[in-house]
Each structure stands twice: as structure tokens, then as C-alpha cells.
Amino acid sequence: MNEKKEILVAKIENGTVIDHITAGRALAVLKILNITGKEKNRVSILINADSKKMIKKDIIKVEERELSADEVSLISLISLDATVNIVKGYEIVKKTKLTLPKRVKGLLRCNSHTCISNQDPEATPTFNVIESKPLKLSCVYCRTYLYEEDVLYQILGEKQ
């Protein structure tokens, strides 16, 4: 890590650093984390940072907060190479390389309007993750596929 980068985004005392985010996906990660700009805690966002492992990467540092399992699941779907670092007293106390969940429950909608998960409020939309790169999920009720662009569309609310 060079000196320039250190100056660009300071180390944090307590919170979570999401590193190695696929370049350009930081805004989608902010949506997943429900960060709107109204929060009181400090959030640093770096888009298209230089990376040794990747050509470019995004980084988000969220102070005074840890991520929920659902948030981590969604981030893994759109940025499998990301790393979640938990920082306490300036030290990284836990580093997690993301892995894809086998099932995603209650976080995404099925694209088929006739699917029972869109009709019956008791039926929680559930998908099996069947391929990782490129991402492909299958609805457990109607087998409709969801692809990475569908997931991004559901998170960002706009076509990619």
C-alpha cells in the first residue's frame, strides 16, 4: 500500500471496512447497507481505488457499525471478491472473505409475476444459488432464473 493511498482514506478506529469491492459497485453496497446520508456515523467511500489484486476496486469504511448476515449475503451476490474487515481499536479483529450462500431467503423478488412468492404473502421468496460466475439463482417455487443484472436492478432500482 503506498503512502498516497493512506492519505486518501484514513484508517478507522472502530467499525467495518468492506474492501476489494468490484469496481463501480460501491453505490450498490451502500444501498444494501441502507446508507442514505442521513446517518450520524462517518462513512468513507472510495470508488476505483488502485488495487494490487484487482485492476481497480471500491472500498467502503463504515464506522461504529457491523454488518448483518443478510447484508453480507447480498454483498456476496454482487461482489464475491469483497472482504469484510471488522476493526476495533484501530486493529482488524476479524477478516472475512465472502462466500456465496447456497440459498437466499427473503431478500430478493422473483421476476415472475405469477410466482406464488409474488401472490401469497406467506410465501417468502427463496432462491437457490446455482452458479457463481456469472451469477445465476433459481426460484425454489417456479424455477425462474435471476441473474446478476436482475439482482443489481432490485438493489439499485434502475437498469444497469
Interface ranges with ligand CTP (CB under 6 A): 11-12, 17, 19, 59, 61, 83, 85, 87, 90, 92
Picking from 136, 139, 137, the residue whose alpha carbon sits closest to that of residue 115 is 139
| Helices 148-156 and 69-78, axial angle in degrees (round to 10) | 130
Name which of residues 115 to 134 contact Zn ion (CB under 5 A). Answer: 115
In this structure, are residues 104 and 113 in contact, taking their beta carbons and an 8 Å threshold? no
The binder of 150, among Zn ion, ligand CTP, none, by C-beta within 5 to 8 A per type, is none
Query: Which of residues 75, 139, 152, 155 is near Zn ion by CB under 5 A?
Result: 139
The binder of 142, among ligand CTP, Zn ion, none, by C-beta within 5 to 8 A per type, is Zn ion
Q: Which three cell numbers stand for residue 125?
A: 421468496
Residue 157 CB, nearest approach to ligand CTP (Å): 28
d(CA 149, CA 113): 18
Which region among 20-28, 53-61, 102-110, 151-159 touches Zn ion (by CB under 5 A)? 102-110
d(CA 22, CA 32): 14
User: Could you list the residues that contact Zn ion (CB under 5 A)?
Assistant: 110, 112, 115, 139, 141-142, 144
